[in-house]
């Protein structure tokens, strides 16, 4: 057998590589260095994420590819990578006090979180189905463990178990889709699949169509599209709250990045007519998510259904496709990340010790006992509901505007109607917090001011407002991201 050496160029891979190396450093530092207080490990992790962000920004505009074009660091992938790195850093800040209150091990948590960040970025950079699968598994496995991380809590364990079983079940379908596409086109590289699919005999091969359909199932599961959404409410409710925040934003960004790339590069719409199927999935996801969220009393569960609905909105951008769809999706993912982190951050800040207030009744009157956390949550929820002048409004405006411009008026109308329905459940907690008398048993002041948590929440809220007030800069960035 003759060996052809691959072109090794680690530079475009640095955004994924640095978090992975940092994870190993954290593991080694955790077990080899003495001392009981390991809080400084979080600083090490944050430095790693900052270094990765630096190289991500440096790579902008270069459009490098490596490893025989199985890694493509174009601006879209790098924009998604920045979103994921930011979500990772915010999650670390949200977690510090949460973990301490529950006496959970910080070093292990950070290593798993950094591993997940690395896998997500790898998935965003991937231009080859096998690399996408590797990235998918590299972030899924740590997330299974992180969901069950609070292992003396039955709900956390149950969430981890359910996520694991359904997650690996869906990965198997995804992988089978890859195998069928490989059999039909003799390639796993997306560009090569696209070239092979231009032959009518390949494009009409049932194996090829089946493979593409199984990819939709796999991606749909990871981003939480209905009808592949059954796991989301249970897992989001049971997992530790900072992890729920991380999963809801970063998993979505990574999986959508690969989803977009796979369907825009490998299956151009001229070859496979998948737009209608995806439009149908978008409608079902928006409707199922929003209607189910109406009756929820637990805020984590409500935000879980809201994340299903938001996956539907983002899918509209994929149906639209092209420059307009990609830039709208990138803006929406960035906006969704900051406002969802703000909402979950506020929710973490509401807790005391290892107690959390998650239901509407527990949150009643929270504006009096925790005014800052309540304000942060109120702004984030208003933004999620799509009120101006917040990021959520602009994001929805771009996505629906792109749909109208591309001739999908009916899809935009269904999206707007869904947004109107969602206003009810986003406003309900705000009314409870501000209009109702305080729930009993919650002290006025926290025992210790959670500084890191406050920093993360304040940054998220400020970005939510900034992206709503000055969307121009961010949109220019998102549009520049598409130019090849």
Partner 1 sequence: MLTVTHFTVLSAILFSLGALAVLIRRNPLIMFMGIELMLNAVNLAFVAFSRFMENMDGQVFVFIVLTVAAAEVAVGLALVVAIFRARDNVDMDEIDLLKG
Partner 2 sequence: MSGDYFPLFVMLVVSVAFAAIGVGVSALLGPRRPTAIKGQTYESGMPSIGTARRRVWVRYYLVAVVFILFDIEIIFFYPWAVVFRQAPIFLLVEMLAFVTILLVGYIYVWRKGGFDWY
* Residues at the interface with partner 1 (CB under 8 A): 1, 130, 133-134, 137, 141, 144-145, 148, 151-152, 154-155, 157-162, 164-165, 168-169, 171-173, 175-176, 178-180, 182-183, 186, 188, 207, 233-234, 237-238, 296, 298, 301
Choice between 160 and 325, CB closer to partner 1: 160
**What are the angstrom distances between the C-alpha of 224 and each of 170, 231, 251, 293, 312?**
12, 8, 10, 14, 9
Work out how close the CB of 157 gets to partner 2 at its nearest, in angstroms, rounded to a whole number: 15
With CB under 5 to 8 Å by kind, the binding choice for 221 among partner 1, partner 2, none is none
Q: How many CB atoms lie within 10 A of CB 287?
A: 18
Out of 7, 9, 11, 28, the residue judged to bind partner 2 by CB under 8 A: 28
192 touches, from partner 2, partner 1, none (C-beta below 5 to 8 Å by class): none
Q: Residue 11: CA atoms inside 13 Å, Cβ hemisphere, count? A: 11
Binding partner at 404 among partner 1, partner 2, none, C-beta below 5 to 8 Å by kind: none
Residue 188 contact, options partner 1, partner 2, none, Cβ 5-8 Å cut-off depending on partner type: partner 1
| Span 32-91, contacts to partner 2 by CB under 8 A | 32
Distance of closest approach, residue 31 Cβ to partner 2, in angstroms:
3
Choose the one of partner 2, partner 1, none that binds residue 19, judging by a C-beta under 5 to 8 angstroms depending on kind.
Answer: none
Partner touching 361 among partner 1, partner 2, none, CB below 5 to 8 Å by kind? none
- Residue 27: contacted member of partner 2, partner 1, none (CB under 5 to 8 Å, by partner type): partner 2
Among 14, 27, 180, 215, binds partner 2 (CB under 8 A): 27
From partner 2, partner 1, none, which one binds at residue 186 (CB under 5 to 8 Å depending on kind)? partner 1
Q: How far is the CB of 78 from partner 2 (least distance, A)?
A: 25
Q: In this chain, which stretch among 2-10, 57-65, 70-78, 253-261 interacts with partner 2, using CB under 8 A?
A: 2-10
445 counts as binding partner 2 under rule CB under 8 A? no
- Does 103 interact with partner 2 (rule: CB under 8 A)? no
Q: Min. distance of Cβ 311 from partner 1 in angstroms?
A: 20
- 252 contacts 384 by C-beta, under 8 angstroms: no
Which is nearer to partner 1, 24 or 449 (by Cβ)? Answer: 24
Nearer to partner 1, 79 or 220 (CB): 220
Q: Which does 31 bind (CB under 5 to 8 A by kind): partner 2, partner 1, none?
A: partner 2
State the minimum distance, in angstroms, from the CB of residue 153 to partner 1. 9
Residue 28 vs 172, nearer CB to partner 2: 28
Tokens standing for 280?
């149908």
Cis peptide, bond prior to residue 389, ω within 30 of zero: yes
In whole angstroms, the minimum distance from the beta carbon of 1 to partner 2 comes to 6
Nearest CA among 289, 245, 288, 295 for reference residue 425: 295
31 lies in the binding site for partner 2 (CB under 8 A): yes
User: Two tokens at 294?
Assistant: 């109406």
Instruction: Rule CB under 8 A: choose which of 11, 24, 407, 431 binds partner 2.
Output: 24
Applying CB under 8 A, the residues found at the interface with partner 2 are: 1-3, 5, 24, 27-28, 30-32
């Amino acid at each position: 057998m003759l060996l052809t050496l691959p072109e090794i160029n680690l530079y475009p891979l640095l955004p994924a590589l640095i978090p992975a190396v940092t994870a190993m450093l954290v593991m080694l530092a955790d077990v080899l260095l003495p001392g009981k207080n390991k809080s400084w490990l979080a600083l090490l992790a944050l430095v790693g994420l900052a270094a990765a962000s630096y190289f991500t920004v440096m790579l902008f505009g270069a459009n490098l590819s490596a490893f025989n074009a199985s890694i493509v660091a174009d601006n879209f992938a790098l924009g998604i990578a920045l979103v994921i790195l930011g979500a990772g850093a915010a999650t670390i800040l949200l977690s510090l006090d949460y973990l301490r209150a529950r006496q959970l091990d910080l070093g292990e948590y950070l290593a798993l979180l950094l591993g997940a960040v690395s896998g997500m970025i790898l998935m965003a950079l991937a231009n080859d189905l096998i690399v996408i699968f590797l990235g998918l598994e590299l972030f899924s496995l740590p997330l299974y463990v992180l969901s069950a991380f609070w292992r003396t809590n039955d709900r956390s364990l149950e969430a981890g178990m359910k996520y694991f079983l359904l997650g690996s079940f869906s990965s198997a379908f995804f992988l089978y889709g890859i195998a069928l596409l490989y059999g039909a086109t003799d390639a796993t590289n997306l560009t090569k699949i696209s070239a092979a699919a231009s032959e009518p005999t390949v494009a009409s091969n049932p194996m090829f169509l089946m493979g593409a359909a199984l990819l939709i199932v796999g991606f749909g599961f990871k981003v939480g599209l209905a009808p592949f959404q059954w796991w989301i409410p249970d897992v989001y409710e049971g997992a530790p709250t900072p992890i729920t925040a991380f999963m809801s934003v970063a998993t979505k960004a990574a999986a959508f990045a690969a989803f977009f790339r796979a369907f825009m590069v490998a299956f151009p719409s001229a070859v496979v007519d998948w737009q209608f199927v995806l439009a149908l999935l978008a409608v079902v996801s928006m409707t199922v998510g929003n209607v189910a969220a109406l009756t929820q009393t637990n805020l984590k569960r409500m935000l879980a259904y809201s994340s299903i609905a938001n996956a539907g909105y983002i899918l509209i951008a994929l149906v639209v496709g092209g420059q307009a769809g990609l830039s709208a999706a990138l803006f929406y993912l960035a906006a969704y990340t900051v406002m969802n982190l703000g909402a979950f951050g506020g929710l973490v800040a509401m807790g005391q010790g290892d107690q959390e207030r998650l239901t509407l009744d527990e949150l009643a009157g929270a504006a009096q006992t925790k005014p800052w956390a309540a304000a942060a949550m109120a702004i984030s929820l208003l933004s999620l509901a799509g009120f101006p002048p917040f990021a959520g409004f602009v994001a929805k405006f771009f996505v629906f505007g792109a749909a109208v411009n591309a001739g999908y008026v009916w899809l935009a109308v269904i999206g707007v109607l869904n947004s109107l329905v969602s206003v009810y459940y986003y406003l309900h907690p705000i009314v409870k917090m501000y209009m109702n008398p305080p729930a009993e048993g919650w002290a006025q002041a926290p025992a210790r001011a959670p500084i890191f948590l406050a920093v993360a929440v304040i940054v998220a809220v400020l970005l939510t407002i900034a992206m709503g007030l000055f969307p121009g800069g961010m949109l220019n960035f998102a549009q520049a991201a598409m130019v090849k």
